[in-house]
Amino acid sequence: MTADPLALMISGEWYCCFDPLLEAERLLTRRAVHQHAMLPPDQRLPCGPMLRDRLGAISATARIEAPFHASYAFNTYIGEAAYLNTGCVILDTARVSIGDHSMLGPGVQIYTADHHRDPDQRRQGIERGLAVSIGSDVWIGGGAIILPGVSIGDGAIVGAGSVVTRDVPPRSRVAGQPARAL
């Protein structure tokens, strides 16, 4: 009997991302993201109804600008008054938590997929998800990239264009590629 790829993905185990069940889930999310992007701006608060139903959770006071992209959406949790500016990408093979009052600039990308190091395994689509946690009152500048497994503490600031490879302590500021404390 083959293990359920969705259960493996959610549990953080290695799984095959090419599985037809996962592709069907991604298709549902692409439809929801497309519907969100096509809605008039005043009907996208906090997001379109299909996307809201796909998300793990989103506060009624949060806002996702279009365009927006997510892999699955059901692993994404967005807190009170959080703001995702235009062009944000969340590849949520693992849980992504965005805290209350956090602001993500345009083009911020959050990755949770950790691809296998062995090229033969990688060719077969073997990966695992490592959760990303963004605390409350965080400001992430435009074009920043948050890598798998990173936690960003409450009140932290990530400079525009940064590549965050390590945890960011609360109330600290980081910038650069890779991001370093300022």
Catalytic residue among 36, 69, 101, 115: 115
| Alpha helices, H only, 67-136 | 119-123
| Alpha helices, H only, 117-181 | 119-123
- Structural tokens at position 50: 């299909």
* Active-site residue flag, 115: yes
What is the rounded CA–CA span in Å between residue 85 and residue 92? 17
Distance of CA 83 to CAs 1, 10, 46, 104, 150, Å?
43, 25, 9, 6, 19
Question: Which amino acid appears at position 44 of this protein?
Answer: R
- Structural tokens at position 156: 């932290």
Q: 132-134 and 57-58 as β-strands: parallel, antiparallel, unpaired?
A: unpaired
Q: Is 178 helix (H, G, I), strand (E, B) or coil?
A: coil
Quick one: which of 97, 110, 105 has its CA closest to 69?
110
Annotated catalytic residues are 115
